[in-house]
């Protein structure tokens, strides 16, 4: 509009923008003035024009956390990236890590500061009495009771997995047997929204239960599997109410031999998987290049078919290592990691071969044999190995027979000869030896027909 002022008057003029607009500058006559308000001295007629510009519409994207969940996995303490595939199932004294899964989404609003506002997430694991925090210091882990906390930034939508604790070589260690809650407290904010709460999972820890709770009892089962005429494999599987323990190669134990209460021998059974044991049998020397177990399924000796990832403790044991005290000794298996407070009693027994019939010529030896327990004469399952030394040669030929109620055989020989039968039974919670009575001379240098 047009306004009139007295000469010499100083007029202050302020421009007020409408909503969605902002002041840019004044044009006084032909000069640009940036100040607002602007002062005009009325020494002549002036033209004053306010210039406005539209405010650009900003958009702000906010990242928000929709869902958080947690699972616990057992692991090997020196490398927490190697963990089991069964969630929320641990063994006492086992190290473990937690997998926290975070699902995040985005929403966009007009206005705000603009850009993307990430969600700042804090996860806290409170201290509980059933586990301890383990920090890897480069030599040995150090344990403490402490609350663990970590801050994370989530700057876009998606599904994220975080393995706690960080750094990667820190873990927790289960210290009690039972069923417990593992809690993770969370709090997040994106400057516009804030949420907090707790997520949990129920963790079962197996071991010797002080309350004899069958739900958490870990039961070792010992098997003796003959490897050749002088040795066998001692292997221990671990059963629980959740089934056969699997995917843990770090559970190990000891076979302890005592005589008159004094420890005479300790044989370490290293941790591994059932597939490791199967591959060990491939070098069995009884039949040269062939596997002893090609004559009979190994599942027959166990009574079940273990998966290749079944957790075992095992060792090859030479019978001469334990034959000294022999039948007068007591054998126990104790799990060392995790510690087994109630050792498993293992019987030590002698096996032998009973001859029911035997005939020979200058070219063949035949008959019927039976594999039995030496003291009870009860039939056993396993193998009978025939060793034949033919003629003047020092070479020994092998023949492996699967033990039956009456095991018939017929082998070719070269005169003069000698033939031995060796007992190779397998056993559950029993070690069978053939060192005293299990090697039977069937025939030696018979009179020439």
Do residues 323 and 394 both lie within one domain? no
Q: Where is the domain boundary, 206, 234, 261?
A: 206
Q: What is the mean pLDDT of residues 321-350?
A: 78
CA distances from 244 to 223, 236, 241 (A): 15, 11, 8
Any bridge partners for residue 74, and if so which? 96
Number of domains in the chain: 4
| Cβ atoms within 10 Å of 20's Cβ, excluding its own | 9
Residue 183 forms part of a structural domain: yes
Q: pLDDT value at position 292?
A: 52
The whole-angstrom separation of Cα 337 and Cα 249 is 11
The model's pLDDT over 423-445, given as tens digits with 9 standing for 90+, comes to 999 999 999 988 888 999 999 98
Q: Give me the chain's average pLDDT, please.
A: 87
Do residues 144 and 201 both lie within one domain? yes
Do residues 49 and 64 both lie within one domain? no
Do residues 66 and 106 both lie within one domain? yes
In 3-state terms the chain splits into helix, strand, coil percentages (rounded to 5) of 5, 60, 35
Least confident stretch, 51-60, 67-76, 124-133, 330-339: 330-339
Residue 213 forms part of a structural domain: no
Do residues 367 and 406 both lie within one domain? yes
Give counts: helices (H), strands (E), the chain.
3, 34
The model's pLDDT over 41-60, given as tens digits with 9 standing for 90+, comes to 999 999 999 999 988 888 99
Q: pLDDT value at position 211?
A: 60
Q: Where is the domain boundary, 314, 349, 384?
A: 349
CA distances from 109 to 103, 114, 119, 289, 387 (A): 21, 9, 16, 74, 87
Characterize 123-149 residue by residue with b for buried, 16 or more Cβ atoms within 10 angstroms of its Cβ, and e for exposed: bebeebebbbbbebeeeebeeeeeebe
Comparing 396 with 124, which gets the higher pLDDT? 124
Q: pLDDT value at position 113?
A: 85
Q: Where is the domain boundary, 349, 378, 413?
A: 349
Q: Is the pLDDT of residue 418 over 70?
A: yes
Residue 264 forms part of a structural domain: yes
CATH number at residue 102: 2.60.40.10
Percent of the chain with pLDDT over 70: 90
Calculate the dihedral angle through the C-alpha atoms of 251, 257, 260, 261, rounding to the nearest 10 degrees: -20
Do residues 340 and 413 both lie within one domain? no
The whole-angstrom separation of Cα 161 and Cα 448 is 80
Whole domain around residue 321: which residue ranges? 219-349
Residue 67 forms part of a structural domain: yes
Q: What is the mean pLDDT of residues 196-223?
A: 87
Do residues 66 and 169 both lie within one domain? yes
Do residues 37 and 82 both lie within one domain? no
Residue 214 forms part of a structural domain: no
Q: Is the pLDDT of residue 168 over 80?
A: no
Do residues 100 and 135 both lie within one domain? yes
Q: pLDDT value at position 290?
A: 43
Structure tokens at 281: 């049998």
Do residues 193 and 67 both lie within one domain? yes
Q: Is the pLDDT of residue 167 over 50?
A: yes
Q: What is the mean pLDDT of residues 159-178?
A: 87
Residue 317 forms part of a structural domain: yes
Q: Is the pLDDT of residue 291 over 60?
A: no
Burial of 10 (0-12, 13-18, 19+ CB in 10 A): exposed
Do residues 223 and 315 both lie within one domain? yes
Residue 337 forms part of a structural domain: yes
Q: Is the pLDDT of residue 328 over 70?
A: no
Residue 5 forms part of a structural domain: no
Q: pLDDT value at position 430?
A: 94
Do residues 50 and 82 both lie within one domain? no
């Amino acid at each position: 509009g047009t306004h009139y002022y007295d000469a010499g008057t100083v007029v202050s003029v302020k421009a007020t923008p409408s909503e969605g607009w902002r002041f840019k500058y004044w044009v006084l006559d032909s000069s640009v003035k940036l100040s607002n308000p602007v002062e005009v001295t009325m020494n002549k007629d002036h033209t004053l024009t306010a210039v406005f510009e539209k405010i650009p519409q900003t958009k702000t994207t906010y990242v928000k956390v929709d869902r958080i969940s947690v699972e616990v996995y057992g692991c090997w303490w020196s490398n927490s990236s190697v963990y089991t595939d069964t969630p929320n199932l641990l063994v006492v004294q086992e190290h473990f890590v937690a997998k926290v899964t975070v699902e995040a989404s985005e929403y966009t609003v007009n206005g705000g500061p603009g850009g993307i506002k990430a969600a700042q997430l804090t996860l806290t694991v409170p201290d509980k009495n059933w586990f301890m925090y383990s920090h890897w210091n480069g030599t040995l882990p150090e344990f403490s009771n402490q609350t663990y906390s970590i801050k994370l930034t989530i700057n876009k939508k998606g599904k994220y997995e975080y393995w706690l604790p960080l750094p990667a070589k820190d873990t927790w260690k289960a210290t009690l047997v039972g069923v417990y809650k593992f809690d993770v407290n969370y709090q997040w904010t994106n400057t516009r929204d804030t949420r907090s709460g707790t997520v949990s999972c129920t963790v079962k820890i197996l071991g010797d239960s002080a309350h004899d709770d069958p739900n958490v009892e870990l039961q070792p089962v010992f098997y003796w599997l003959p490897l050749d005429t002088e040795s066998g494999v001692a292997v221990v599987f671990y059963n629980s109410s959740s089934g056969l323990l699997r995917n843990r190669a770090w559970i190990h134990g000891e076979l302890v031999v005592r005589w008159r209460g004094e420890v005479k021998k300790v044989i370490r059974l290293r941790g591994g998987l059932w597939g490791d044991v199967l591959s060990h049998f491939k070098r069995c020397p009884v039949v040269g290049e062939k596997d002893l177990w090609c004559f009979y399924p190994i599942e027959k000796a166990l009574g079940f078919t273990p998966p290749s990832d079944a957790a075992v403790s095992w060792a090859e044991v030479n019978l001469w290592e334990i034959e000294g005290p022999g039948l007068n000794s007591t054998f126990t298996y104790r799990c060392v990691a995790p510690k087994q407070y109630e050792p498993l009693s293992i019987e030590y027994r002698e096996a032998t071969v009973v001859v029911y019939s035997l005939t020979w010529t200058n070219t063949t030896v035949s008959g019927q044999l039976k594999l039995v327990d030496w003291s009870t004469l009860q039939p056993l399952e396993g193998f009978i190995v025939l060793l034949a030394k033919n003629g003047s040669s020092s070479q020994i030929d092998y023949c492996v027979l699967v033990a039956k109620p009456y095991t018939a055989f017929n082998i070719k020989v070269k005169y003069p000869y000698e033939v031995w039968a060796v007992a190779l039974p397998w056993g559950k919670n029993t070690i069978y030896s053939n060192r005293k009575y299990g090697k039977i001379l069937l025939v030696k240098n018979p009179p020439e027909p």
